Amino acid sequence: MGGDHGCAVVVEGVRRALEADTKISTLFLVGDQAEIESALVATGCHDLRVQIVHASEVVTMNDRPVTALRKKRDSSIGRGAELVHDGQADAVISLGNTGGIFTAATFKLGRITGVDRGCIATIIPRQENEFVLLDAGANIECKPLHLAQFAVMGSVYSREVLGYKKPRVGILSIGTEDSKGNELTLEAFKLCKQLDLNFIGNIEGHDLFKDHVDVVVCDGFVGNIVLKTCESLAVAVFSMLKRELVRNPKRQIGAYLAKNAFQAIRRRMDPEVHGGAPLLGFNGMVFKAHGSSRERAIASALRVTADAVQHRVNEIIAREIVSANEKLAAAGISIPASA
Amino acid sequence: MGGDHGCAVVVEGVRRALEADTKISTLFLVGDQAEIESALVATGCHDLRVQIVHASEVVTMNDRPVTALRKKRDSSIGRGAELVHDGQADAVISLGNTGGIFTAATFKLGRITGVDRGCIATIIPRQENEFVLLDAGANIECKPLHLAQFAVMGSVYSREVLGYKKPRVGILSIGTEDSKGNELTLEAFKLCKQLDLNFIGNIEGHDLFKDHVDVVVCDGFVGNIVLKTCESLAVAVFSMLKRELVRNPKRQIGAYLAKNAFQAIRRRMDPEVHGGAPLLGFNGMVFKAHGSSRERAIASALRVTADAVQHRVNEIIAREIVSANEKLAAAGISIPASA
């Protein structure tokens, strides 16, 4: 219910995903029953794997997540998370309020044993491949242990879902030397060195798009700013390009001939293809798709999330977090009881 | 002495700047006398305003700034800063080690009365204009007062040098609502609201390239990461574009016809034109040019810095910082004795 383009676009994405994917056994569409039914009719989706779960309320973009989850007892994101909690579904995908999804994951699913903070991992495309940035905004103030656990979870996701054999993990800082960083990153650096990671140390903003690092770890404040800055700059460059290319007929002809080149890059950077973010550390897979997702992005979110379930990402995270916590405890680092 | 392209490129930039600028009365070239002399001969620079000040040492990129400034008593950046301290020069420009420049400014010039921390302000181009981001990396851990003072100094620079009548000042955060941010930005927000600024509140990464804000305030950790991420992404987009444009003859012809459009954007984003960063808050103008600066960038750095001197930026900063501190003190905020 939370997408910008309404229910029918989501349903059409679902239809396409189901057509392509035989491994999904049941697909619950959670939200206003009447609206979903008419979208199913409109898109001609008759797949028997689809089940509607009615939910009468929506957590909107203007809602305060915690309050909304408490007050709107029949919200679609709440109901979706409950399906996972009750074991009826393996994963929940939402296009809605990110805070709402994170809150639903925290309260309805709970964290994997040993995980002190769940996080949002965002997948950012670059020339040849893509990297994971986490946390992308859920945890504004972090402790070193959180960053170390993000490193473990991001590494698992990168390996199991994105297919990187030995994901290179770096801490986003302001210099590559071990001694560069703020209090948080310097401590997190020490923890990461203790762990079974392909830890390459500190990385800088310069390194992000250079294929130097596959998993970029930072607190949610920095991560959110970096993510949004990248989106904003990419849009700005394309808009400048467009303006310059129509300035005179010669350029216009040039642009027409080179059209496919621009389209290739746009596709490469397109949130429609790569966009969306798994929430990691919860008992159940949770995936946040862009609010602006259209059919293709919905289908892609379904495919990626089904992949993550298939690869038992959460079981692996659970195992590796336990082992990471043990290593850290053995090195004298105290693991809070909440983890 | 600190540039990547050697002394002759710097001297040629200086020659061009002097040719264009009649307001500069003396230009000291600080560094190895023999090298500078031969560069002057090679570039045919006979301007009588040029004076050589010999310095036998260089703070290199590998030096630790504080140690280097202490040990290398005859470093070019140290000597340059001394010229300003002694009143012989109004400003010093360097292409060298940023930490070295900042340290020289701190120890040799000292801070303007009332300023608790000097900072690096970087000027970032966007479609129509440019914005100031500060601090860009000098102060890794900041207090709210520092951010408030950066806001004042950035606002003065934007107004007096970049020509913005009422620069819009924003705090870089993860949401535009007043309540969004981390401990530092939330407190800094309250301080900025007390001041005579065109304070527009919190801004997000999304806003940077949208002409929503002219002065972007953050701590040096976040600022450095944002700056380097932007540089890295811009380079990546152009490199993707280049690769796509040569993929087949049709695209190549298109690219040839539209060539000027790409050049226009490259020029717009080029650190050669816009690059470089004033250090604000010191008794004397200090300007850090890119290490990779070529002739045009050197000339541009000289022009901008001469402008800042002409506009008495430091006197205005001194005045506005005193008034800002008074306002904050009246609102019950304690101003440390060091400021």
Least confident of A23-37, A136-150, A244-258, B255-269: B255-269
Q: Scanning the structure block, which residue is given the tokens 């997190």?
A: A188
One domain, residues B192 and B322: yes
For the cut 80, the answer to whether the pLDDT of residue B339 exceeds it is no
pLDDT digits (tens, 9 = 90+) for B113-166: 999 999 999 999 888 889 999 999 999 999 999 999 999 999 999 999 999 999
Q: Does A188 touch chain B (CB under 8 A)?
A: no
Would you say residue A81 lies in a domain? yes
B221 chain-A contacts, CB cut-off 8 A: 173-174, 181-182, 222
| Residue A180 shares a structural domain with residue A248 | yes
Interface contact flag, A181 B140, Cβ < 8 Å: yes
What six digits make up the tokens of B134? 């500060």
Range of the domain at B14: 1-110
Asked whether residue B37 carries a pLDDT value surpassing 90, the answer given is yes
Residue B87 has pLDDT above 70, yes or no: yes
CB contact (8 A) between residue B204 and residue A240: no
Q: Which of B229, B204, B231 is nearest to B216 (CA)?
A: B204
Give the end of a domain, one of A72, A88, A110: A110
**Which of A210 and B168 is assigned the larger pLDDT?**
B168
- What is the pLDDT at residue B283? 96
The predicted structure's pLDDT at residue B21: 82
State mean pLDDT over B42-70. 90
Q: Within this chain, do residues B203 and B82 fall inside the same structural domain, yes or no?
A: no
Per-residue confidence band for A272, with pLDDT thresholds at 50, 70 and 90: low
Here the tokens at position A63 are 């809602």
Contacts (Cβ under 8 Å, ≥6 apart) of B176: B201, B202, B203, B204, B207
> What is the Cα–Cα distance from B73 to B80, expressed in whole angstroms?
12
Would you state the structure tokens that stand for residue A72, as one six-digit string? 């709107």
Residue A330: per-residue pLDDT: 93
Say yes or no: A37 and A170 in one domain: no
Residue A156 lies in a domain: yes
Same domain for B204 and B75:
no
Whether this model's pTM surpasses 0.90: yes
Residue B191 or residue B273, greater confidence: B191
More confident residue, A335 or A315: A315
| pLDDT on residue A170 | 98
pLDDT digits (tens, 9 = 90+) for A125-143: 888 889 999 999 999 999 9
CATH number at residue B53: 3.40.50
Is residue B287, in this structure, part of any structural domain at all? no
Residue B87 carries which side chain, given as an amino acid letter? G
Peptide bond into B4 cis (omega under 30): no
CB contact under 8 A, A174 and B224: yes
Chain A residues close to B267, C-beta within 8 Å: none
A292 pLDDT band (50/70/90 cuts)?
confident
Same domain for B203 and B153? yes
| pLDDT band for position B272 (cuts 50, 70, 90) | low
**pLDDT (mean) for B260-278:** 77
The reply to whether B94 and B131 lie within a common domain is no
Nearest CA among A242, A286, A20, A280 for reference residue A139: A280
* Chain B residue with minimum CA distance to A259: B251
In a domain? residue B296: no
Q: How confident is the model at residue B266 (pLDDT cuts 50, 70, 90)?
A: confident
The shortest C-alpha distance from B246 to chain A (Å) reads 9
The chain-wide mean pLDDT, for chain A, equals 92
How far is A26 from A14, CA to CA, in rounded Å? 11
Give the pLDDT confidence of B291-316 residue by residue, as tens digits: 888 898 899 999 999 999 999 999 99
Both B212 and B335 in a single domain?
Answer: yes
Q: Where in B108-180 does DSSP place strands (E)?
A: 119-125, 130-134, 168-172
Q: Which of residues 267-306 of A touch B (CB under 8 A)?
A: 268-269
Asked if B208 lies within 8 A of A232 by C-beta distance, the reply is yes
Nearest by CB to residue A228, choosing from B140, B206, B232, is B206
Average pLDDT over residues B197-226: 96
Is A141 touching B (CB cutoff 8 A)? yes
Subunit contact A225:B220, Cβ cutoff 8 A: no
Please provide the average confidence, as pLDDT, over all residues in chain B.
Answer: 92
A contacts of B181 (beta carbons < 8 Å): 140, 221
φ, ψ (nearest 5 deg) of residue A136: -95, 15
Mean pLDDT value of segment A96-116: 94
Interface of A with B in 204-233 (CB under 8 A): 204-210, 220-222, 224-233
Within a domain: residue A306?
no
The verdict on a CB contact (< 8 Å) between B209 and A233 is yes
Instruction: Find the CB nearest A225 among B226, B250, B258.
Output: B226
Answer yes or no: do B77 and B123 share one domain. no
Question: Pick from B141, B229, B268: which is nearest to A229 by CB?
Answer: B229
Looking at the DSSP bridge assignments, the partners of residue A29 are: A52
The enclosing domain of B196 has a CATH number of 3.40.718.10
Verify that B40 and B129 share a domain, yes or no: no
Q: Is B1 helix (H, G, I), strand (E, B) or coil?
A: coil
List chain B residues with CB under 8 Å of A126.
236
Distance from CA of A322 to the nearest CA of B (A): 30
Q: Is the pLDDT of residue B317 over 90?
A: yes
Residues of A in contact with B124 (CB under 8 A): none
The average pLDDT across A226-236 equals 90
Tell me the mean pLDDT in the region B40-66: 91
pLDDT band at A181 (very low <50, low <70, confident <90, very high): very high
Name the domain boundary from A110, A129, A157.
A110
Tell me what pLDDT residue B268 has: 78
pLDDT over threshold 90, residue A61:
no
Q: pLDDT band at B271, cuts 50/70/90?
A: low
Residue B65 has pLDDT above 90, yes or no: no
Domain count, chain A: 2
Three-state SS for chain A is CCCCCCHHHHHHHHHHHHHHCCCCCCEEEEECHHHHHHHHHHHCCCCCCEEEEECCECCCCCCCHHHHHHHCCCEHHHHHHHHHHCCCCCEEEECCCHHHHHHHHHHHHCECCCCCCCEEEEEEECCCCEEEEECCCCCCCCCHHHHHHHHHHHHHHHHHCCCCCCCEEEEECCCCCCCCCCHHHHHHHHHHHHCCCEEEEEECHHHHHHCCCCEEECCHHHHHHHHHHHHHHHHHHHHHHHHHHCCCHHHHHHHHHCHHHHHHHHHHHCHHHHCCEEEECECCEEEECCCCCCHHHHHHHHHHHHHHHHCCHHHHHHHHHHHHHHHHHHCCCCCCCCC
**Closest-CA residue in chain B for A258?**
B251
Which segments of B152-247 are extended strands (E)? 168-172, 198-203, 215-217
A13 part of a folded domain: yes
**Per-residue model confidence (pLDDT) at position A145:** 97
β partners of residue A119: A280
* Residues B22 and B162 grouped into a single domain: no
Is ipTM over 0.90?
yes
Question: For B285-291, what is the mean pLDDT?
Answer: 92
Q: Which residues in chain A have their CB less than 8 angstroms from residue B172's CB?
A: 225
| B208: chain A residues, CB-CB within 8 Å | 229, 232-233
Looking at the structure, do residues A185 and A263 belong to the same domain, yes or no? yes
Within a domain: B12:
yes
Residue ending a domain, among A76, A110, A144, is A110
The confidence band for B275, taking pLDDT boundaries of 50, 70 and 90, is low
Answer whether B233 sits within 8 Å of A233, measured CB to CB: yes
pLDDT at B291: 86
Q: Does any domain span residue A292?
A: no
Please report the pLDDT score of residue A128 as a whole number.
84
Contact assignment for B244 to A228 by CB distance below 8 Å: no
